[in-house]
Amino acid sequence: MNWLKSLLSATRPHRSFARLDNSGRCRAFRQCAQPPVGDGWVEISEIRLNWLHQVLPPDARVSSPATHSRVQPLLGI
């Protein structure tokens, strides 16, 4: 019965990420609910195996919403 509940419960959708090397070429893919830990990971719209070892096309990246800090910096100190 628990497996049925797990099937019907809401889960976070998996997002797609690509790990880029220093030259901007794709070295790995990953699908997970949270962004992977480490440098070089960018969110992409989908995983295409022909992007592996290639520079990602400009429209492959997902533009993330800008995050702004609510804390105002102290001036004059």
**In tens digits, what is the pLDDT along the chain, a chain of 77 residues?**
676 666 666 667 889 999 999 999 999 999 999 999 999 999 999 999 999 999 999 899 998 655 555 555 666 65
- Could you give the strand order of the β-sheet that contains 15-20, starting from the edge strand earlier in sequence? 26-32, 15-20, 41-44
Structural domain tally of the chain?
Answer: 1
Give me the domain span that covers residue 18.
Answer: 10-54
Q: What is the DSSP string of 16-52?
A: EEEEE-TTSBEEEEEEESSPPSSTTEEEES---GGGB
Residue pair 10/21 in contact (Cβ under 8 Å)? The answer is: no
67 falls within a domain: no
Residue pair 9/28 in contact (Cβ under 8 Å)? The answer is: no
User: Would you say how long the chain is, in residues?
Assistant: 77
Question: What is the rounded CA–CA span in Å between residue 71 and residue 73?
Answer: 6
4 falls within a domain: no
Tokens of 6: 């797990």
29 falls within a domain: yes
